[in-house]
Structure 1
Amino acid sequence: MPNTYSQIYLQFVFAVKHRQSLIPKEHKEELHKYLTGIVQNRKAKMIAVHCMPDHTHLFVGFKPVMSISDFVKEVKVASNEFINDKPWMKQKFNWQEGYGVFSYGHSQIDAVAKYVLNQEAHHQKKTFKEEYLEFLEKFVIPYDEKYLFEFL
C-alpha cells in the first residue's frame, strides 16, 4: 500500500473456553513464540505477549492490511490448532468465542507492554474477570455481563 501510513497499537485479550486453566506454565514460552510468528505473518508487530493459564494478552503494532476481526480469528484458529497438536493436555483445547481489543497511543507503549508482561504479579491481586470488566469500564464500552464469560 504505497502512501499508506498508520500508527495503531492494539491490546487483544481472549480467554480459554469455559475459562478453564488449560495453558500449561511449562509450555507458555513455546506458545508465546508461536503467537509471535502468527502475528508477524499477518504483517503486524508483536510488542508484548503473555499467556496466563486461562487467558491471553497480545499487544500489537497493527497494520491496516486486514480487519481486526479477521486478524483475531486467524490468531485464535492457528494457535488453537497448534495447542491441540501438542501433547500438553488430555482434553481438546479451544479459545472462547469473542475477544476484547483496546487501542492505545504511541506514548502508552511502554506502560501497556509492562502491564502485559507483568500479568502473573497483576493476577495475584485481581481476577481475570475483574481485570476484563475494568478494561470495559475504562474504555467506556457498553456490555451485558451475561455475554462476557462462558463457564462450565
Structure 2
Amino acid sequence: MEQYRCTKTIVSLINYHFVFCPRYRRKVLVGEVEIRFKQLVQQICKENDWRILAMEVMPDHCHLFLNCLPTDSPSAIMAKVKGVTSRILRQEFKHLAHLPSLWTRSFFVSTAGNVSSETIKRYVEAQKKRG
C-alpha cells in the first residue's frame, strides 16, 4: 500500500531506496555494530520525520527504503545518516576508531517510479535471505 504524506500544505508520495557501503566494502556491519547501526538509523529517521518502510543491513552494505517529504533531498538524507552513524559507531566500537570515515562518499538512490513501492520493499526485505 502506498504511503501518502500530508502536512500543512504538502501531499506527497516520495519513497527513496538507498544503498550505501562502508569504505573499501569492509564487512563491518555485523553483530553489535549492526544492531547499534539499526538503532541509530531509527533514531535519526524519527528525529527527521522520515518513515522507514524497509531496512536490511548486510555485512558490507545497507538497503534503506524511506518515505520522506519533498523538502528532504536524497543527498541531505544520506549526509545525515552517514555522518551521524559514522561518528557514533567509530566512537563506540574500538575496531572502527582507526577509520577516518566509515562510509564511502557515494550511494545509490532511486524513487519508486516504474517499480511499485511494494516490489522494492519485498526486494529489500529479501536481501538478508539471499545468503
Q: 1:108 Cα shift? A: 2.5
Instruction: Find the residue that maps to 1:97 and give its secondary structure.
Output: coil
Q: Which has the higher strand share?
A: 2
CA distance in 2, matches of 1:29, 1:72: 19
- Please report the RMSD computed on the Cα atoms of aligned residues, expressed in angstroms: 2.0
Q: 1:118 Cα shift? A: 2.3
Q: 1:114 Cα shift? A: 2.5
For residue 87 of structure 1, the aligned residue among 80, 83, 93 is 93
CA contact (8 A) 1:42 1:71 kept: no
Q: 1:55 Cα shift? A: 0.8
CA contact (8 A) 2:16 2:74 kept: no
Gaps of 5+ in 1: 125-152
Write out per-residue CA displacement over residues 97-123 of structure 1, whole angstroms, 9 at most, x where no aligned residue.
111101115x8233322221222223x
CA distance in 1, matches of 2:121, 2:61: 16
Counterpart of 2:125, as a letter, is L
Instruction: Find the residue that maps to 2:65 and give its secondary structure.
Output: strand
CA distance in 2, matches of 1:115, 1:26: 25
Gaps of 5+ in 2: 1-6
Instruction: Find the residue that maps to 1:51 and give its secondary structure.
Output: strand
Structure 1 residue 75 and structure 2 residue 94: aligned? no
Write out per-residue CA displacement over residues 116-138 of structure 1, whole angstroms, 9 at most, x where no aligned residue.
1222223x3xxxxxxxxxxxxxx
Identical amino acids, percent of aligned pairs: 22
The corresponding residue for 1:31 is: 37
Q: Number of residues paired by the alignment?
A: 122
Q: 1:88 Cα shift? A: 5.7
Structure 1 residue 62 and structure 2 residue 50: aligned? no
Counterpart of 2:119, as a letter, is A
Instruction: Find the residue that maps to 2:95 and give its secondary structure.
Output: coil
For residue 14 of structure 1, the aligned residue among 20, 35, 57 is 20
TM-score by length of 1: 0.71
Counterpart of 1:23, as a letter, is L
CA distance in 1, matches of 2:94, 2:127: 22
Structure 1 residue 46 and structure 2 residue 46: aligned? no
The corresponding residue for 2:4 is: none
Counterpart of 2:60, as a letter, is D
TM-score by length of 2: 0.81
